[in-house]
Amino acid sequence: MELEVSAQSRDKALNRRIAITVVVLSVFVGLCHIKDENTVQGMERSEAHAIDTWNEYQANKTKQHLAENARVQLAVLAPPGKAEAAIAALDADIAKYKAQSPQLSGKAEAQERAYDTLRFRHDQFNAADAGVATAISLAAVAALMEAVALLWAAWGFGAFGIFMGLNAFLGGSFQLGILSSLLG
């Protein structure tokens, strides 16, 4: 018993549609990947800046606390009339630290918000990648099985991937919360 496998497709139009689908989706996912890598780099920068700023905030609060303690010690232990200049200098330092703290915390919180915004975009690019990858896989199976229904399913997943990618590129607010929850 001899089995002959033919590499010839019976439906060349189906194969052309599959080939065009795969090319379009591959190019789109490539562009999304480039933009997503830039987004990830931005996330890393925002996170590093937030950490640095929170560290600066903490150092500022520590210096404030030390200056307040030194002021109390001078006020209690110094002979009368001998520490007024040092106490005035410490009061000026304490005022400076108190003024800087809200600015530093605001700056750090802004960096955290920037990170969250970029993370949202990154999640959108991930959803686009998942949709397009599924579409390409379905298109490959559609070619092997010569099944138009699978190509339609591939187009559905591809449309979802393109929609999510365009949302990420254009700054849209659409995101599948359940998908992010499951995959995040």
- Residue 9 to residue 108: CA distance in whole angstroms: 60
Q: Which amino acid is at 175?
A: Q
The span from the first CA to the last CA of the chain, in angstroms, equals 53
Percentages (nearest 5) of helix, strand, coil residues in the chain:
85, 0, 15
**What residue spans define the domains of the chain?**
12-183
Res 8: pLDDT: 58
Count Cβ atoms below 10 Å from residue 68 Cβ, excluding itself: 16
Q: Are 25 and 161 in contact (CB under 8 A)?
A: yes
Q: Which pair of tokens denotes residue 151?
A: 């190509």
Alpha carbon 115 to chain centroid, angstroms: 6
Three-state SS for 55?
A: helix
Per-residue pLDDT of the chain (184 residues; tens, 9 = 90+): 454 545 455 678 899 999 999 999 999 999 999 999 999 999 999 999 999 999 999 999 999 999 999 999 998 988 888 889 999 999 999 999 999 999 999 999 999 999 999 999 999 999 999 999 999 999 999 999 999 999 999 999 999 999 999 999 999 988 877 666 666 6
Res 5: pLDDT: 45
Cut 0.85: pTM above it? no
Three-state SS for 6?
A: coil
Res 80: pLDDT: 83
- Residue 133 to residue 161: CA distance in whole angstroms: 8
Q: Are 111 and 53 in contact (CB under 8 A)?
A: yes
